[in-house]
Amino acid sequence: MAHRILFLFFSLLFISTSVCIEEGFISVVISEKGLDFVKDILIDQAISSIVLSQLPQIEKSVQVPLVGKARVILSEITIKDIQVSSSSVETGDTSIVVVVSGATANLSLNWRYTVSSWLVPIGISDSGTATVKVENMQVWLTVNLRNQGGTLKLILLDYGCDVGDLSIKMNGGAAWLYQVLVDAFKGNIASAVEDSISDKIIKGIATLDDFLHSLPKTISLDETAALNVSFVDNPVLSNYSIQLEINGLFTEKNDVLVPQHYRLGSDISISSGDLPKMIKISIHENVFKSASEVYFAADTLQWILDELPDQALLNTAEWKLIIPQLYKQYPNDDMNLNFSASSPPIIQVSNQDIAAKFSVDIIIDVLEAGEVIPVACISVDISASCDAEIVRNSLTGRLKLLKFSTYLKWSKIGKLHMNVIQSLTSTVLKTVLIPYMNSQLKKGIPLPILNGFALANARILYTPPWISVCSDVSFLGDYYLKHLPAHVS
């Protein structure tokens, strides 16, 4: 039971880990409501994993008055079902405590006995079945989490299982044996239940600790970038909540993870306030800035437009009224537009959206005799806003153009009329560049929710320099359990 309980519990709360550095730019807070939600799921899954499990065979010799010594064996002791009346999860300064109280369990078993004495020299034997009802059972465990080199070390502080009451109902066999079995085996069955569950807790903690250390070090996003998801400092445990800090910065895919020079600033409050949500995920604007720098350094913030629904627009003949010199020097030649960022975009979280400023060079290329000939470069300074959106379990966004300015950076086709170029640039930005960038933004930044769980009724808050996602979480069923690694099953 314990390894499935704890694996699901911490899997929902945490994501993969890596090398620890000084600052955390993604913060995750699990509220009291979230902890209760997780606890309920874990109990249901724990019950599913325990039901139909078998306890070790019990064998004992019992002295029966006037009959002699009876050798009794209880076998195929199977837990048929478990019902839980109350449960709780609590967090303190140094530990997480999960308690199940007032649980009942129904067991089935086979019994058989043989009696041999001087009164019965030939020996007699019999067999039958029995049902056992366990009541007032309590299961508890206390764990602590520590950051160990950017990964989590899970420490078991206390654990146990206590069976309150136990009753046995016999089926078959001789009536004289019933009370003897009840008196002789009640303690053995209770101990077997307690020992079995306690043993699973110990093994489960060890398995989960190994699993946490084997998690991937980064999240690969594409061919260029990866997300550094190392834990920073120790988890903060307070009354009814757990807070984690994750590095969260983008890095080039083949880079060794080392500290990057971003500072958090003075206000890093990520309190969820009065929002009745299960989880709050806060992302610092430095996460977006690191993405900007990584993609710019990798020369991926560029795009060549060589296809349009109206392909004739990419021919100099369509431009002869706008840029006569272009058509004069290169009549009826195909063209493309080469967009490239001239510097890393500047991204900041405001009180109502995400502000973005970036400069783009638009190079007009002429395709002549198989050769690409750059003929002019128009530089555009753009101011835009980005409304954050939640798509499945990712934070995405949609750009809106606010204003822009253009100037001619260089030209091989003479002086251009910038008032005409300004109008043309406006059309290109609104119909081509911004839609393209929005299509890229749809890929989003993955939030720390694993397969099998989904954000529900998410709300986005802007608290500069943080953007926060306050959300409930829904459980999608047994998908996640079916895809657990073999060593965790």
Q: Is residue 460 part of a domain?
A: no
Same domain assignment for residues 195 and 338: no
Cis ω on the peptide bond leading into residue 465 (within 30° of 0)? yes
What pLDDT score does 424 carry?
A: 84
Same domain assignment for residues 273 and 165: no
pLDDT category at 66 given cuts 50, 70, 90 is low
What pLDDT score does 162 carry?
A: 93
Q: Is residue 306 part of a domain?
A: yes
Q: Is residue 234 part of a domain?
A: no
Residue 468: both structure tokens together: 């926060």
Residue 477 Rama label (left phi>0; alpha psi -120 to 50; beta): left
pLDDT category at 19 given cuts 50, 70, 90 is very low
Same domain assignment for residues 180 and 315: no
Lowest-confidence region among 85-99, 386-400, 469-483: 469-483
Same domain assignment for residues 332 and 432: yes
The answer to whether the beta carbons of residues 3 and 200 sit under 8 Å apart is: yes
Same domain assignment for residues 83 and 171: yes
What pLDDT score does 2 carry?
A: 41
3-class DSSP string for the chain: CHHHHHHHHHHHHCCCCCCCCCCCCEEEEECHHHHHHHHHHHHHHHHHHHCCCEECCEEEEEEECCCEEEEEEEEEEEEEEEECCEEEEEECCCCEEEEEEEEEEEEEEEEEEEECCCCCCCCEEEEEEEEEEEEEEEEEEEEEEEEECCEEEEEEEEEEEECCEEEEEEECCCHHHHHHHHHHHHHHHHHHHHHHHHHHHHHHHHHHHHHHHHCCCEEECCCCEEEECCECCCCEEECCEEEEEECCCEEECCCCCCCCCCCCCCCCCCCCCCCCCCEEEEEEHHHHHHHHHHHHHCCCCEEEECCCCCHHHHEHHHHCCCCHHHHHHCCCCEEEEEEEECCCCEEEECCCCEEEEEEEEEEEEEEECCEEEEEEEEEEEEEEEEEEEEECCEEEEEEEEEEEEEEEEEECCCCCCHHHHHHHHHHHHHHHHHHHHHHHHCCCEECCCCCCEEEEEEEEEEECCEEEEEEEEEECCCHHHHCCCHHHC
Q: Is residue 224 part of a domain?
A: no
Number of domains in the chain: 2
Same domain assignment for residues 174 and 303: no
Share of the chain above pLDDT 90, in %: 37
What pLDDT score does 264 carry?
A: 54
Instruction: Examine the pLDDT at 482 and tell me if it is beyond 60.
Output: no
Which structural domain, as residue segments, surrounds residue 296?
Answer: 262-446
Q: pLDDT by residue (tens digit) across 347-401?
A: 999 999 999 999 999 999 999 988 999 999 999 999 999 999 999 888 999 999 9
- List the beta bridge partners of residue 227: 219, 250
CA angle centred on 241, ends 238 and 243, rounded to 5°: 85
Sign for the CA dihedral angle at 438, 440, 443, 444 comes to negative
What pLDDT score does 17 carry?
A: 33
pLDDT category at 258 given cuts 50, 70, 90 is very low
More confident residue, 270 or 444: 444
Same domain assignment for residues 402 and 291: yes
Share of the chain above pLDDT 70, in %: 83
Q: Is residue 457 part of a domain?
A: no
What pLDDT score does 18 carry?
A: 33
Q: Is residue 455 part of a domain?
A: no
Q: What is the CATH number of the domain that holds 422?
A: 3.15.20.10
- Give the mean pLDDT of 257-273: 47
Place of tokens 């021919």: 315
- Give the mean pLDDT of 243-264: 71
Same domain assignment for residues 164 and 272: no
Q: pLDDT by residue (tens digit) across 275-333?
A: 579 999 999 999 999 999 999 999 999 999 988 888 888 999 988 888 899 999 999 99
Domain boundary among 216, 236, 270: 216
Domain boundary among 424, 446, 468: 446
The average confidence (pLDDT) of the chain is 82
Instruction: Examine the pLDDT at 260 and tell me if it is beyond 70.
Output: no
Same domain assignment for residues 137 and 286: no
Same domain assignment for residues 274 and 212: no
Q: What is the CATH number of the domain that holds 120?
A: 3.15.10.10
Same domain assignment for residues 279 and 428: yes
pLDDT category at 176 given cuts 50, 70, 90 is low
The backbone torsions φ and ψ at residue 180, rounded to the nearest 5 degrees and listed phi first, read: -60, -45
Q: Is residue 486 part of a domain?
A: no
CA atoms within 13 A on the CB side of 458: 24
Domain boundary among 183, 216, 249: 216
Same domain assignment for residues 203 and 272: no
Q: Is residue 24 part of a domain?
A: yes
Lowest-confidence region among 50-64, 121-135, 246-260: 246-260
